[in-house]
Amino acid sequence: MRFRRLATMTMATTALCGLAPTFGPAFVPAARASSTPLQRELDGAVRDTGMPGAIMTRAGRAEVTVRSGVGDVRTGRPVPRHAMVRVGSTTKAFVATVVLQLVGEGRVALDAPVETYLPGVVRGRGGDGRTITVRQLLQHTSGLPDPGTLLPSGRAWAERRFRHRDRGELIRYALSLEPTTARWSYTNTGYLLLGELIEKVTKARSWRDEVARRIVRPLGLRHTYSPEPSEYRIRGPHPRGYLRAPGLIDVTEQDTGYLDAAGDMVSTPAEIDRFFGALLRDGCCVPPCWPRCAGRSPRAAPWTSTGSAWRSTACPAAISSAMRVRCTATRCSRAFSTGAGHGGGRASVRPSRCRSPPSPPTWTISGAS
């Protein structure tokens, strides 16, 4: 039996850089006489966090988009209905999907050393590509340090946000630092390297081209893209982005080139929903079923039954969106939510109604950001 509905929600806020500024009563959403539960939920989130505004899309039998607050604190204009936003570390899910497609094609091995694909690139105090695997890059278990300390923060970052830093500079800096010792440690370095790995394996000009060819165009994501280096403006309607440092600084225009494959993409809530629906509900973007995205015949799915749940041997807990995750196929549908903030996203799930066992099983994702 198929799921009757898989509810998917994506929230994008006008607050960037992980700060939840307090904007005062002017930003509290006004009461609505005919407010729906979804609208009240979003109004409450804006009120409780102090965000200037937010937009949320929920997919089910019918797609519903609600907005709250304002998209521009200077003019008071609302958040555009089809707002494009910087989705930050949700970019990692697109990059991980491409890597898993390459695994399905036999062009990349998850447990192969990074050195196999990027000879000599990962050598330094921070790590050694001869002992770090592709799987570890995907799962944030490589021990590689993050290059974030190279970048300024707060007002200093806002004043220098147009300065370009390329991927190679960030990787080299990270490798000059001490490695982490925790079993799991979130690091952008791993995904900067995965972007480079995609380019080496596919001979593409950029990992951006492979994301577009393999995911964005097949799924019809017309408002999803990765800006080129030194492309400062968002290409379509969008809310303003702000940083409190202290005081409110408009940082909507910025050079996101330093984020690269770790977090520079732009999209809309509805299109992020469509991507995760294809990935987690339909399973059409990763092995063994991803060839459906390109109109090819999918391979047989290697599912194994484990009592009340089904586990996919094709999902190595590698799909990561700013968190470590566990991929299983279960009896329950899930609601997937992702928030765009800090210049990176955060992802989580919450249970929806449980249904009969699906046929074929449906991707779900769980974890903690």
Catalytic residues: 89
What is the CB neighbour count within 10 angstroms for residue 151? 15
CB within 8 A of 263, min separation 6: which ones?
Answer: 87, 88, 89, 90, 91, 92, 188, 191, 256, 343, 344, 345
Nearest to 323, CA basis, from 139, 191, 148: 139
Strands 85-88 and 265-267: antiparallel
364 φ, ψ (degrees, to nearest 5): -130, 165
Encoding tokens for residue 217? 């165009």
187 φ, ψ (degrees, to nearest 5): -145, 130
**d(Cα 2, Cα 262) in Å, to the nearest integer?**
34
Radius of gyration (C-alpha) of the chain in whole angstroms: 20
3-class secondary structure, 336: strand
Q: What is the 3-state secondary structure (H, E, C) of 315-338?
A: CCCCCCCCCEEEEEECCEEEEEEE
